[in-house]
Amino acid sequence: MRKYKNQKEKKLAEIYCNGCGKKITIKNEMIQEGMFHGEILWGYFSNKDTEHHEFDLCEACYDRITADFVIPLTVKKEKELL
Ligand SMILES: [Zn+2]
The domain locations on the chain are: 2-67
Distance 48 CA to ligand 1 centre (A): 25
C-alpha 29 to ligand 1 mean position (Å) = 19
Q: How far is the CA of 71 from the centre of ligand 1 (A)?
A: 22
Residue pair 46/53 in contact (Cβ under 8 Å)? The answer is no
CA distances (Å), origin 20, targets 2, 27, 65, 69, 78: 14, 21, 12, 19, 29
C-alpha 68/C-alpha 43 separation (Å) is: 26
Nearest to 22 by CA among 10, 30, 34: 34
Q: Each residue's pLDDT tens digit in the chain (82 positions)?
A: 988 887 677 778 899 999 999 999 988 888 899 999 999 999 999 999 999 999 999 999 999 999 999 999 999 998 887 7
